[in-house]
Amino acid sequence: MFLAANVVLVTVFFFAGGVSDRPLISAGRLAGLYAAQAMAFQLLLVARLPWLDRRLGMDRLTSLHRWTGFGLLWLLVAHVVFVVFGYAGLENHNPADEIIVLANTLEGILRAIVAFVLILVVGAASARFARRRMAYETWHFVHLYAYAAVLLAFTHQVAVGQSFAGSVLARTYWWTLWLGAGAAVLAGRVVLPLWRNVRHQFRVVAVVPESADTVSVYISGRDLDLLPARAGQFFLWRFLTRDRWWQANPFSLSAAPDGQTLRLTAKAVGESSAKLRTLPVGTRVFAEGPYGAFTTLHQQLPNALLIAGGVGIAPIRALLEDIAGHVVVLYRIRTPDDAVLLPELQEIAKARGAIVYVLSGPSDLRGAHGPVLGPESLYALVPDIAERDVFVCGPPGMTAAVLRSVRELGVPGPRVHAERFSLAA
Ligand SMILES: Cc1cc2nc3c(=O)[nH]c(=O)nc-3n(C[C@H](O)[C@H](O)[C@H](O)COP(=O)(O)OP(=O)(O)OC[C@H]3O[C@@H](n4cnc5c(N)ncnc54)[C@H](O)[C@@H]3O)c2cc1C
């Protein structure tokens, strides 16, 4: 709705400002304006504003960001191609010469070319095949070019865009949009995290091995009761040791925040998660968050089914403490050794009258009713599943299978909540 209103507004400003008699040039300019809008929208999506994050969750914001990115790329290609071919036709040049003429005669064109190339680089790095082959840090670093591209594109729009030379209303709109988007990024990405870390002074107070490959890290700080964190949320944790201060990794809270301590439980899958085991007590921590919509804030019915796969138990264990109604927990693991946090899960369940089922076995495990997380098996274990909210967190394959099963069992979409442990979907 908000987006549609903005698109309509820009279209109205465009036509009110007078249209070129060359359809290609007009189409190119309009595509450029929509691209500028998409860029500002992208800034809003990556700003990590708590208000937006609590409602949509970071994985949905990331997915929206990805799709807007595709749209933006095509709008920019259309903008460049239409404008260049439009002016080349008008002035009887070939398109390659026209680019040189435009760059030499109009202020801001060179900046636009650099911005376009940067966006192409970021777009290429975001393609799935490239993303999979790149270390997270490299991918993230390349993404930072996008900020330079936005700055260059903005100055290009100010220099040559008719929207800025046109009516006062249009100018006011564009300034508000760009300043608003810039302020959102500054607030969400810089000011708020800095403020929280200065205020809370996070430090590691204990590191407890939970299994051969999983460890819990306890973090304390000042005035943690004032930190607006909820069970089911996660932080981007940066442990400030000499060899790893430059890496930030997302880990969920594995216990509901109690105002004294925060706890994360991490499985070693790569270098930084493996190093958590040797993290010295007293290490200072820079934590960004809390983030995520995998909380009871979105719960619709009092009773819930919580499904965890492997280390996906971390936010599920925290949610078990937070849900007021009756809870059933399904904990899916490969071998009994993988059942981290099980004793405390069972203890909380006992105190709260919740039921815990541990489903142990290989990924193709079947029971009397077919695959253990298939619709028939789920129904056999939890016959009132359609009258519960379902929270699921586990590996992508398992999560997808559970989502299919609960859909088949008639649990409506808004009552199904998933945390995917991946921000790059
Ligand atoms: C919202 C969320 C919550 C998570 N909660 C938990 C949890 O409670 N317990 C747990 O064990 N794991 C959790 N994870 C997964 C965990 O973040 C990764 O396993 C960890 O970051 C791997 O880092 P690594 O450097 O050891 O491994 P690498 O081999 O460097 O990375 C392995 C995978 O993790 C991804 N990754 C690495 N760093 C980041 C980052 N900063 N942001 C996004 N993805 C990254 C990479 O894309 C890669 O696919 C969560 C992930 C997300 C997105």
Tens-place pLDDT, residues 74-131 = 999 999 999 999 999 988 889 999 889 888 888 888 889 999 999 999 888 888 777 7
Its domain, for residue 22, covers 2-197
Among 122-126, 306-310, 314-318, 391-395, which is the least confidently predicted range? 122-126
Q: What is the per-residue pLDDT for 163?
A: 65
Is the pLDDT assigned to residue 138 strictly greater than 90? Answer: no
Whole-model pTM: value is 0.88
Domain end point (choices 265, 291, 317): 291
Confidence of residue 418 (pLDDT cuts 50, 70, 90): very high
Number of domains in the chain: 3
Domain end point (choices 177, 197, 217): 197
Which atom from ligand 1 is nearest to the alpha carbon of 271?
Answer: 26
Rounded to the nearest whole angstrom, what is the distance from the C-alpha of residue 136 to the centroid of ligand 1?
Answer: 9
CA–CA gap between residue 62 and residue 425 (Å, rounded): 8
Instruction: Look up the CATH number of the domain holding residue 247.
Output: 2.40.30.10
**Which residues lie with the beta carbon below 6 Å from any ligand 1 atom?**
136, 234, 236, 248-252, 264-267, 269-273, 311, 314, 421-424
Q: Is residue 425 included in any domain, yes or no?
A: no
Question: Chain-wide mean pLDDT for the chain?
Answer: 92
Query: How far is the CA of 134 from the CAs of 129, 248, 273, 395, in angstroms?
Result: 9, 16, 17, 20
**Whether 37 and 185 share a structural domain:** yes
Rounded to the nearest whole angstrom, what is the distance from the C-alpha of residue 122 to the centroid of ligand 1?
Answer: 21
Residue (of 191, 189, 222) closest to 205 by Cα position: 222
Q: From atom 31 of ligand 1, which residue's Cα is the shortest distance away?
A: 270
Is the pLDDT assigned to residue 203 strictly greater than 60? Answer: yes
Rounded to the nearest whole angstrom, what is the distance from the C-alpha of residue 276 to the centroid of ligand 1?
Answer: 13
Q: What is the per-residue pLDDT for 128?
A: 75
Ligand 1 test: best mutation among 273, 279, 311, 393, most atoms within 8 Å of CB? 273
Q: What is the per-residue pLDDT for 265?
A: 98
Is the pLDDT assigned to residue 3 strictly greater than 90? Answer: no
**Whether 186 and 238 share a structural domain:** no
Confidence of residue 425 (pLDDT cuts 50, 70, 90): very low
Among 56-70, 105-119, 151-165, 212-226, which is the least confidently predicted range? 151-165
**Whether 12 and 155 share a structural domain:** yes
Q: For residues 61 and 166, which has the higher predicted lDDT (pLDDT)?
A: 61
CA–CA gap between residue 228 and residue 195 (Å, rounded): 13
Q: What is the per-residue pLDDT for 165?
A: 65
User: Helix, strand, or coil here: 343?
Assistant: helix
Q: Is residue 216 included in any domain, yes or no?
A: yes
CA–CA gap between residue 207 and residue 281 (Å, rounded): 7
Domain end point (choices 291, 313, 331): 291
**Whether 78 and 18 share a structural domain:** yes
**Whether 287 and 326 share a structural domain:** no
